[in-house]
């Protein structure tokens, strides 16, 4: 009876373990740095933020002359791309906006502090496109479309590594 009780405790304990898939810090760092580099090559100083599957900042890299608000805006774009990209199966904040995922006419989703429905966020997925690994947000270029283009270029360069 004691053995059965011990086995039952172990079996129950194992069922309470949660595993998360996310990018390792090095890959996240390369991704953010590439987004900043791509924008810099176009003459834009930006901040790039990677959030992991908990929605927390994993990496933040900022250009040399970024606007102050780009730090929080890049995080909010990454958070929105991750959380709503996961929920609505979209790959960018632009896709979320086009699908009118921004909430009802009263803008209820926009009242959540971390959420920002502005172009410049990309949902990070495994190379096969299935599992969501986080989000990348870029801010600081003159227009979210330019931020998003830099983010997409970085993802395209490194997505094969998202195994």
Residue 1 domain-assigned (yes or no): no
**Dihedral in degrees, nearest 10, Cα atoms 59, 63, 64, 70:** -90
> What is the pLDDT confidence band of residue 106, given thresholds at 50, 70 and 90?
low
Residue 149 domain-assigned (yes or no): yes
Residue 11 domain-assigned (yes or no): no
Mean pLDDT, to the nearest integer, of 71-84?
Answer: 97
Residue 91 Cα to chain centre, angstroms: 10
Residue 14 domain-assigned (yes or no): no
Give residues with Cβ within 8 angstroms of 85, minimum separation 6. Answer: 91, 92, 95, 96, 121, 123, 132, 135
Strands (E) located in 36-130: 47-51, 57-62, 121-125
Answer yes or no: are the C-beta atoms of 60 and 42 closer than 8 Å: no
- Averaged confidence pLDDT in the chain: 89
Residue 12 domain-assigned (yes or no): no
Residue 9 domain-assigned (yes or no): no
Per the structure, the count of domains in the chain is: 1
Residue 99 domain-assigned (yes or no): yes
Return the axis-axis angle of helices 144-158 and 25-41, rounded to nearest 10°. 130
As a whole number of angstroms, the distance between CA 72 and CA 13 comes to 39
Residue 10 domain-assigned (yes or no): no
Mean pLDDT, to the nearest integer, of 8-25?
Answer: 73
pLDDT at 134 over 90: yes
As a whole number of angstroms, the distance between CA 80 and CA 101 comes to 11
The enclosing domain of 128 has a CATH number of 3.30.450.150
Q: What is the pLDDT of residue 14?
A: 64
**Dihedral in degrees, nearest 10, Cα atoms 134, 23, 150, 33:** 130
Q: Which domain holds residue 46?
A: 21-161
Answer yes or no: are the C-beta atoms of 93 and 82 closer than 8 Å: no
Q: Among the listed ranges 21-25, 101-105, 141-145, which one has the minimum average pLDDT value?
A: 101-105
Q: What is the pLDDT of residues 28-65, one digit of tens each?
A: 999 999 999 999 999 999 999 999 999 999 999 999 99
pTM of the prediction?
0.86
As a whole number of angstroms, the distance between CA 81 and CA 53 comes to 11
């Amino acid at each position: 009876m004691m053995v059965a009780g011990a086995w039952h405790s172990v079996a129950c304990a194992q069922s309470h373990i949660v595993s998360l898939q996310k990018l390792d810090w090095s890959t996240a760092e390369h991704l953010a740095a590439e987004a900043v580099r791509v924008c810099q090559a176009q003459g834009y100083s930006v901040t790039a933020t990677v959030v992991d599957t908990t929605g927390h900042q994993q990496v933040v890299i900022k250009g040399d002359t970024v606007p102050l608000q780009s730090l929080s805006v890049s995080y909010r774009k990454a958070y929105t791309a991750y959380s709503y990209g996961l929920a609505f199966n979209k790959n960018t904040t632009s896709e979320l906006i086009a699908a009118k995922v921004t909430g009802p006419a009263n803008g209820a989703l926009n009242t959540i502090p971390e959420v920002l429905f502005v172009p410049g966020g990309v949902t990070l997925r495994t190379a096969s496109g299935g599992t969501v690994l986080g989000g990348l947000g870029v801010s600081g270029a003159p227009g979210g479309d330019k931020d998003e283009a830099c983010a997409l270029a970085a993802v395209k360069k490194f997505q094969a590594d998202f195994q």
